[in-house]
Structure 1
């Protein structure tokens, strides 16, 4: 592949709302238990000021999707979400058909707001169910029950949304194969257009890290994954990413942009961003001030850190994201979005080793993850360091 000039990839917007009713023991996201009334009006003003500053980095580039993450964004009011979206349209070039996702808890109060969120401009809801079994929900620190989760799916079906997602976890404390498959069947019964089905991992700086629960062994985990995959395929869901399944036409466009090494503005406390400056041959990673109190301190900037992705790090960063997707990766995207040739930093040899090991398939136009590569993704990525 000839040397390529760096080009701008598609652009998305991530909006972080950090508050939860309570912090879950497995969660390593920047979230804070709700102890007092939410400073919704004040925080929204800061979000929009933050965006106004970041908008200068992208000029008139079109924003193709928005994702409200947290925390629990559904704790905010529908008028508050509408105010944010109106402010976004005033500050950046938002696509007329942008996918706009909001994360929500299955709790009754939040679920009853789904139609109002749709009226405010949200067209996709992601519901954090995690499990339909009460003992597992309690172990995960979740505050809803199975009936509330099912009702939330019903509200999502009736809210007029373009799509919605259910989040389910497997590999839970003391979980058997039958337990995991029962959860998955219950999730499929809700007929979500999209299902995120991912394994619980113990992350540093969480309660589970300090007091680890007993998790299923590797053989049980593999059995869960294999049999769960079959269930999902039989129900008409197609896996398009390591942890994501959808009905045809319902892939999450925002997450696809992440995995395709797209750009994204990140606003809100602790939010991360990735911005390409093609003219300067530069890729920037940004991080905002983490704690809400510091983020809303007018005497300080919102930006905590801005760091350039070194040229020698671009190949691994590209493939670390791109190889989560099961679709073929066009070779031309590598040159476009890294500005590098395959001959640089020994990448051609590293890819050849992964191909010889049966972890990647290659055609003249593309690379694609194999079944073996999907199972041993970490080993594959080690070959590309």
Structure 2
């Protein structure tokens, strides 16, 4: 069955469902970071061993999850991602309590991918062993660079040796390990970028994420910008990185993500394929579909405000809205066009509940500009479209 009404959402099957859990604290706020992260308070001042009230926050998370259950009842959760901040600051008991509570409340797919983000400065072998026993089977390490000078410029609390040690420990304990690296760093040369990639490749992790450093609004770097390589230099670094990764057997499957065969991040693929996700925790976003609408939610951003809202009102939503049908094409394309293989054309109607003809004119426009593959069975950016992704995505705006 197909929906022929361009102004009405009509989903005949709901998309896969994931769970995102936000942990808002980190040991130090990095100057480039625009995520919802807050530096932990001094332990003496805060009266908590870790600088934050772990028990209160976990209780708030569990209560938050329970508010979402009526909206997702009976649906299986395919993956969990614990992001931050630095979730590895949680104690082993805290992580175990959290995951046990989650499993007791949702229908989690057997063998589901459960990812935790970690920074090298917070990595301890005993702690990682305990996290693995709690059910974490994938870890994403915020390495960014292996060079001490660059790490210092990025405001990181670890050095190159600690980064390498963290990867080695993670590989001992987890089924899958991702390394986050940045390029286009302050005064970075082609040779320095190559050294970073080669250091990462030496560990043969199944997944690598490679991000171009950008100056995001409301960050320290936005106010006090460092000296970054020119656009031509950044393009040369990217081309060099892509060649090295291809030779090492990594496929670029998303704009910033590279994986060995069958090692893609399932949780992130769900985002990029316009799947659904419950989002709990301070500042977390969620997307939940129903047969006749698609909704989005946003939680209280500050950790204390979030906890207090859950404790006093039993809810921490600051926004809960139905996405207008006219906005769905752009939201869909914003995600799916990041994938190098794109998605099948039929996925548009399956995930938005709208007929394909609402974007037919824009598809033709993007194809004519050489930004979109002309295969009618695929919605896929060309090499040029991926390089100028913002220009491709903007065609579907409004």
| TM range, smaller chain | over 0.9
C-alpha distance in structure 2 between counterparts of 1:112 and 1:212, whole Å: 39
What do the CA deviations read for 1:107-156 (whole angstroms, capped 9, x no partner)?
26445522211011100000000001111101111000111111111111
| Matching of residue 28 in structure 1 with residue 41 in structure 2 | no
**Pairing partner for 1:128 from 128, 136, 142:** 142
Structure 1 position 343, deviation (Å): 2.0
Kept after mapping to 2: 8 A contact 1:342/1:348: yes
Q: TM-score, normalised by structure 2?
A: 0.93
Partner secondary structure for residue 136 of structure 2: coil
| Matching of residue 173 in structure 1 with residue 160 in structure 2 | no
Partner secondary structure for residue 13 of structure 1: strand
C-alpha distance in structure 2 between counterparts of 1:199 and 1:55, whole Å: 37
C-alpha distance in structure 1 between counterparts of 2:54 and 2:383, whole Å: 46
- 325-334 or 96-105, larger mean C-alpha shift: 325-334
The residue aligned with 1:326 is 340
Structure 1 position 55, deviation (Å): 1.5
Structure 1 position 67, deviation (Å): 0.3
The residue aligned with 2:360 is 348
**Pairing partner for 1:64 from 61, 75, 78:** 78
The residue aligned with 1:223 is 236
Q: Where in structure 1 are there 5+ consecutive unaligned residues?
A: none
> Aligned pair in 2 of structure 1 residues 260, 109: CA closer, same or farther (>3 Å)?
closer
> Aligned pair in 2 of structure 1 residues 108, 267: CA closer, same or farther (>3 Å)?
closer
Kept after mapping to 2: 8 A contact 1:3/1:339: yes
Kept after mapping to 2: 8 A contact 1:274/1:284: yes
- 257-266 or 349-358, larger mean C-alpha shift: 349-358
C-alpha distance in structure 2 between counterparts of 1:19 and 1:166, whole Å: 20
C-alpha distance in structure 1 between counterparts of 2:389 and 2:335, whole Å: 11
Structure 1 position 190, deviation (Å): 1.7
| Matching of residue 207 in structure 1 with residue 183 in structure 2 | no
**Pairing partner for 2:389 from 365, 377, 381:** 377
The 5 Å alignment of 1:184-263 reads: 184-263=197-276
The residue aligned with 1:313 is 327
What do the CA deviations read for 1:319-372 (whole angstroms, capped 9, x no partner)?
11000001231111100111111222xx11111011112211133422222111
What do the CA deviations read for 1:15-56 (whole angstroms, capped 9, x no partner)?
001110010010011100011322111111110000000111
Kept after mapping to 1: 8 A contact 2:337/2:379: no
What do the CA deviations read for 1:203-260 (whole angstroms, capped 9, x no partner)?
1111111111111111001001111000000011111000000111110000000000
**Pairing partner for 2:98 from 52, 72, 84:** 84
Q: TM-score, normalised by structure 1?
A: 0.96
| Matching of residue 288 in structure 1 with residue 299 in structure 2 | yes
The residue aligned with 1:268 is 281
**Once superposed, what is the RMSD of the aligned Cα atoms?**
1.3
Structure 1 position 2, deviation (Å): 4.8
C-alpha distance in structure 2 between counterparts of 1:365 and 1:3, whole Å: 18
> Aligned pair in 2 of structure 1 residues 94, 167: CA closer, same or farther (>3 Å)?
same
Kept after mapping to 2: 8 A contact 1:104/1:110: no
Kept after mapping to 1: 8 A contact 2:187/2:228: yes
The residue aligned with 1:155 is 169
C-alpha distance in structure 1 between counterparts of 2:64 and 2:199, whole Å: 41
C-alpha distance in structure 1 between counterparts of 2:389 and 2:262, whole Å: 26
Partner secondary structure for residue 321 of structure 1: helix
Partner secondary structure for residue 82 of structure 1: helix
**Pairing partner for 1:113 from 127, 144, 165:** 127
The residue aligned with 2:46 is none
Partner secondary structure for residue 113 of structure 1: helix
C-alpha distance in structure 2 between counterparts of 1:367 and 1:117, whole Å: 39
Kept after mapping to 1: 8 A contact 2:88/2:122: no
C-alpha distance in structure 2 between counterparts of 1:356 and 1:206, whole Å: 38
Structure 1 position 3, deviation (Å): 2.5
C-alpha distance in structure 2 between counterparts of 1:83 and 1:203, whole Å: 35
The residue aligned with 1:363 is 375
